Every structure is written in structure tokens, then in C-alpha cells.
Structure 1
């Protein structure tokens, strides 16, 4: 059983990655229903939290059915991050996670996210202050380094473990790579297999199928896997991986009825949590993935992303279910 502090997260936990404008409560709801063991909020600006910015505070929303869940914070100022961690703890998650991996220019080039990989002593000090501040387990998500010449991930892991983090997730790319190229899991394995490392190490990057998940589990011996982009519009990947690891058999892909049901549930929660205008807008990124591979779906996708009326959207989804059900089941 893998434990993060005193929190049990499963024999081989599957984690939902914190993704900006994706990993919100509506999306987390459908991922949890489909097998995610541990989830994180979207990353939250420490400056936004301490200034009580509405968008940042809203991201603290968590629900009992999501547990265990972590709140992820980011920032470049140690004192702001310490205060933000205290605010996050008040929202009563199971853990607080620090984002040292975001590669986006507006974050990383200001010294936050993956930018702090250029200043490992500061990373260690910031982490130490956050661990001291909160009573919850603190975890970290990071990358291999800023670029190929600055990869010191074993040193980073040891330093962070020394100041008290309870788990580390490593994305197998550098900041310069962004999301290009192939994630290098051999360096993740170096951390996991280092004799001085005793906290759980989770791998992240390029896991998009049950077969690859099992292969990487066995080959790199990580304690669990974090899944990001492959889950967008396809929350079924968590249960598919679990079933394959247990039985060696692939689950049948979700039926058209299940795709429609899940998309409707996601939309309903999105409207409830974000309000009609924002809920409709932010749901648009998911439709293509919910119905990926469906022949002749493009006209319906166009209608789904252009409609601004909730009733019309639910009607289109029902229409999709009726029209494509037979063709999909025969495919």
C-alpha cells in the first residue's frame, strides 16, 4: 500500500494531474467516478490567494467525494507561498502540493513553476518553509530540470525529501522541452531506485494507454503514475489501466451511451459550478475528446462549441447518442 504521510492512496495509485483550466471540480468528478485514486486542483497562484482574488479562491473548492485530494499552489516568493499554503490548509484537503514544474513562460520565466529549477537552494528553502507552516503532508511536482544541462533531479529529490516532503511526482521532460519529444523515464527511475530515496515517486509523461502504463510500471518501478492530457475527455483511462493491470485484458471502449452520459454529467456540473456563460465556454474543449474517433461527428461538434444555450446543448448530446449509437456499436 502506497502512503503519502498517513494517507493511503492504493497499491499502485493513478493520479490525475493538476491541469490549468482542466482539472476543475466538474472534470475531477468524472475522473473520480472512473477510477482516479488521487487528484489535485488546478494550480493556484499564491499571490492570488493571499490577495483573496476571486479566481484563485474559487479553485479551493473541493468536495467530499473527491477525497483524497491535494491543493496545488505556485509562486516565486517564499513568504507568499508560505501564507498561501496556510490558506490552502484551511480548505481541508488531504495534502498540499507545490508546483515546481509548470513550463509556461508567464510562470516559469518569473521564477515560479519550473523556473525555480534554476535555483535549487531557493526551491529547498521554499519547500522547507511550507512544510513547517502546515500540518498536512506536502508533496511536490517538478520536471527533470530547466534544460539538458541542468538536470539534477536526484539531488533535487534528496533535498526536498530532507526538508520533509512526503511524495514527489516527476514529469520526464525539461522545461525547455515543454511537452515536445519523449518523456525520459530513465531519470525518474534513477530517483526511485536511489538508495537514499524512501518517499513515493510518481512518474508523469506520455502515459496514454493501459499497455504503456503497465510497461512503465514494470520497467521503471515507480510507485504510481500521474496522468494528464490523456484523461482530457477520456476519464475512462483510469479504470482501463486498472483493469489491464489486474487481468491483462483490455476493457471495451466506452459505449456511445456512456460517452453521452459522462459528457452530460460534466456539462451539468460545469454549469452548476461556474455559472452558465463560463460553464458553457470551458466545456467546449472537452467535446472533441469525448467523441474522438466517431465518424462524421464534426457537424455535431460545431454545434456543441457554438451553442450558448444549456437546453440546446443537452439536446444535441441526446441527439448524438441516438444517431451514433448503432453505428458506434458496430464499429
Structure 2
């Protein structure tokens, strides 16, 4: 297999939606993509569970293989299962496969995957090589600065990953031991940028066009990835793309248009998950939308405790009609 054909991957615009467990499901990815995004990344999927078709994974891992500009993120410890999962998702039409080496959650690192792989770079390299060799689509890598402040090895990991055929690397500007505390160190990402020739994407605490400009200036990165900044604001990636790359600026929904967008997202989640589970899973999104809209506390509580979807839909117009106010970039 000729790896040079897939060694560089940089969609235009290079503004991506980060994978967020329990959040970046298919309905949310489709909504973000509808405003405009260079690419979106699925929720993290456990490779062995995917191959063995455990129901818990099948239930949430409808990965949108037929969706354009979508990467499927795989996590795992075993090169065999990672390669098999990669073959499976590529065979089903996934355009890009992303390897998770950044998740800091204890249930992930306790299984020696996610950011725990930063502590065993030789093993991580074998995993990367197995995935790259298994598929013909681009393989990307998402990781952190290191396990802790005493082991900032992202640049070395990225250099070795590039040699193994990784097409792009995304760096969250924190160590694993920081989790999401403090501020992302965008300037520390520059060491990775200096170590490789493949595209580098900066991630962490980027919520506005101004943040994106600063992150790229400090890091030298080729693009940005947005995670929590898109919660309640699915248009923000398109705003950043417009500000940095001159793409069409999104029309930010306000008033009734905002209510319609949220209602449609809610109904899409009911369809995707089923009414009962969909209503529960949607609550986090509804909460973020109500944060954006400035919904009064009593109405917010009524929506987030309602068990009947029809009741939720009837309350949304009153909860979401305040005008959405965006802070100038």
C-alpha cells in the first residue's frame, strides 16, 4: 500500500468539531455540519466492542458513514482490535479514521487506552502502525501534550506517528493529569508543529474567532478543533471559518428561527434514540440552548424535568424566543 497518497489530510476550512462522548452523536454532528464545518468527528468508539457488536456500542455508534466530512474515532489498547475496527468502519464508508490518544477519563485510561498511551509510546506506535496498514483512508491522531508536566512527549509521539503514516495530528493543549482544569496552553503545541510536516490542529478552550486566531498564532497550527465551545452554539464553527478563512458567514438563528432549530434537533434525537432515551439524552443540549437564550430558571426546570416529549416541545417557544446575542469577535 502506498502511504504517501494519504499522508496529508487537511479539509477546507480546517475547522473541526471535536469528538465528545455523549454529545457529538449523529444528530448533533449533522446540525453542526449544516452551518458549515471542515469536518466533524464521531463520539469515541471502543474498537473491540465495535468489532464484537456489543449492543451498548451499536445503540450509539450509528456513525454516519454516508455523511460527508466525517471522521470515526476509535479507541483501544490492542493493535489487533484497532485494526479490525478500522477495517470495519472503512469498509462501511468512513472517509477518515481518528485514533484516540487523548481521552483523560479514568475508565478509559484505566484500560490503558486514550491518553494512557502517552505513557507507552512504543506500544502506541504499534497500534498506530496497525491501523494505518489496515486501511486505505487517511488516519489521524488526537492526543494531548503529555501525561503530566514531567512527561511532555507529544512532539516525539507526533514525529513517530508521522513516520508511521498518520496524516494529521490534533493536540489538546493540556496534559492528561490536567483533565479540563486551568487553561489550554496553545503555545506548547508549537513544539509539535515544529516536529512534523503533516498538518497540526490546535484544540482546547477555543470558543470564538478571536480565540482561534490567538491559538493559531501561538501554536503555529494549521487549523483548530472546537469541542465544548459548540455546546448550545452549533453555528460557532462556521463563524470561526468565516472569520479566519473567508467562508460564508452563518446566519445565527434568533427568535423563532432559534426555537425551530432547537425543536428540530430535539425531534431528531427522539428519532435517533427513541422517545424515552432521546428525551433524557437531549436534556444536556436543551440546557445549553437555554443558557444561550437566557431562559428563566422556572421554565428551564420545567423543561429539563418533563418526561413527555410533547410537553417539552410545547414549552420550548416560551423558553427560547429571547434574542440570541453573540459576543463580537
TM over 0.5: yes
Q: Which residue in 2 is equivalent to 1:56?
A: 57
Q: Which residue in 2 is equivalent to 1:241?
A: 240
Q: Distance in 2 between matches of 1:22 and 1:186?
A: 28
Quick one: structure 1 residues 198 and 262, their matched pair in 2 at CA, closer, same or farther if it must change by over 3 Å?
same
Per-residue deviation, 1:239: 2.0
Local SS of the residue matching 1:156: helix
Quick one: structure 1 residues 124 and 246, their matched pair in 2 at CA, closer, same or farther if it must change by over 3 Å?
closer
Q: Which residue in 2 is equivalent to 1:188?
A: 189
Local SS of the residue matching 1:150: coil
Q: Which residue in 2 is equivalent to 1:167?
A: 168
Q: Deviations over 1:1-39 (max 9, x none)?
A: xx97576610x4110001100000111111111222101
Contact 1:61 1:91 in 2 (8 A): no
Q: Which residue in 2 is equivalent to 1:103?
A: 104
Unaligned runs of 5+ in 1: none
Q: Which residue in 2 is equivalent to 1:279?
A: 278
Moved over 3 A (4+): 3-8, 62-66, 250-254, 293-296
Q: Distance in 2 between matches of 1:105 and 1:321?
A: 36
Give the 5 Å matches for 1:83-162: 83-162=84-163
Q: Which residue in 1 is equivalent to 2:11?
A: 9
Q: Which residue in 2 is equivalent to 1:306?
A: 305
Q: Which residue in 2 is equivalent to 1:263?
A: 262
Local SS of the residue matching 1:170: strand
Per-residue deviation, 1:134: 1.1
Q: How many residues align?
A: 321
Q: Distance in 2 between matches of 1:121 and 1:280?
A: 44
Per-residue deviation, 1:279: 0.6
Give the 5 Å matches for 1:284-295: 284-295=283-294
Quick one: structure 1 residues 218 and 94, their matched pair in 2 at CA, closer, same or farther if it must change by over 3 Å?
same
Quick one: structure 1 residues 6 and 123, their matched pair in 2 at CA, closer, same or farther if it must change by over 3 Å?
closer
Local SS of the residue matching 1:186: helix
Q: Distance in 2 between matches of 1:37 and 1:246?
A: 11
Q: Deviations over 1:27-71 (max 9, x none)?
A: 111111122210111000112112211232344424477411111
Quick one: structure 1 residues 295 and 243, their matched pair in 2 at CA, closer, same or farther if it must change by over 3 Å?
same
Local SS of the residue matching 1:149: coil
Q: Which residue in 1 is equivalent to 2:227?
A: 228
Q: Which residue in 1 is equivalent to 2:214?
A: 215
Contact 2:9 2:168 in 1 (8 A): no
Per-residue deviation, 1:163: 0.6
Give the 5 Å matches for 1:27-66: 27-63=28-64, 66=67
Per-residue deviation, 1:93: 1.1
RMSD: 2.4
Local SS of the residue matching 2:270: helix
Unaligned runs of 5+ in 2: none
Give the 5 Å matches for 1:310-325: 310-321=309-320, 324=322
Local SS of the residue matching 1:176: helix
TM-score computed with the length of structure 2 as normaliser: 0.90
Contact 2:290 2:320 in 1 (8 A): no
